[in-house]
Amino acid sequence: MILVAGSSNLDFVVRAHHIPAPGETVLGRDFKTFPGGKGANQAVACARAGGAPTTLLTAMGADAFAAPIEASLREASVHLDIVRSTDQPTGTAFICVSDDAENAITVAPGANLALHAQHLPNLQGTSHLLMQLEIPLTTVTAYADAAHKQGVTVVLNAAPVQALPSELLDLVDVLVVNEGELAALSHHTGTIAECLERIKVPTVVVTLGHRGCCARIEGTFLVQPACAIAAIDTTAAGDTFCGSLVAALSQGASMRRALQLAGAAGALACTRLGAQSSIPQAAEVNAFLAQQAANDSEAVDALGVYCGLAVGTYS
């Protein structure tokens, strides 16, 4: 079983021609609310896109914003372990999505900050603990420490990015970041490969948007070109990738296969609006991946070059 410990938010989403610059007001178009939050999104991805038994440990307020999030999670067959805050509202996120599918997000954490060390359940039967950084860093560290001591694989999606203490990184087995987060955590402006080598975590996976992804497993590099899609909304694409990756690994998939499945799930999420509403079913992911052509050597080598890897030093 996978335990996801993290945030739950209600997303307020407006579509506009472009994302406003500082001081700029833009006229938006349609407006909708969607269940979201990195923890909740990744739990849905584990259960729906990955088909893995999943529990979400999260905190929500005693308000109306919690109801649609809980309904979405239950619909995805996620088991819920909710800490109910009576003095903080359910977390919210305000998202602007542009016509070119990019987004800008501001999160009001609310009840997510009420998730603390004492709320961690018994980890018996748990193979993987997946966390993000929309809950207190002290909580993330405490959970990672408890999981590490019990032999549970600790996976951290270091988003939203912030400085991470070495004592936390020492407890992480798999770190998942995007390109900007990788640069921030490695304190390096060099190539992807150079940045990956500077982070002392056994396995580091970096998502590279429309290019694909790259992983360093100890001293071995894997590169996986992206699936070709027509994106309309990139919200939760990274969360879908993370959840699908952990689901595949929890079911015994190789890292190569897990990257393929996660990349396909994340790509499909970009073709739909919203956060949890965009996450595909496992059958859709497998069917979509089956339709993809095998990675050609030119695409693999082009991605390897982008990552700063010499030909022959990756697979």
Residue range 112-121, pLDDT digits in tens: 999 999 999 9
Mean per-residue pLDDT for 56-80? 97
Mean per-residue pLDDT for 292-315? 87
What are the angstrom distances between the C-alpha of 248 and each of 15, 58, 200, 253, 280? 33, 22, 23, 5, 15
User: What is the model's pTM?
Assistant: 0.93
Q: What is the mean pLDDT of the chain?
A: 94
Locate the domains of the chain by residue range.
2-306
Alpha-carbon distance of 241 to 261, in angstroms, equals 8
Q: Do residues 246 and 266 lie in contact, with contact meaning Cβ atoms separated by under 8 Å? A: no
Mean per-residue pLDDT for 43-60? 98
CATH number of the domain at 2-306, out of 2.30.110.20, 3.40.50.720, 3.40.50.150, 3.40.1190.20?
Answer: 3.40.1190.20
Instruction: Please list the active-site residues.
Output: 239
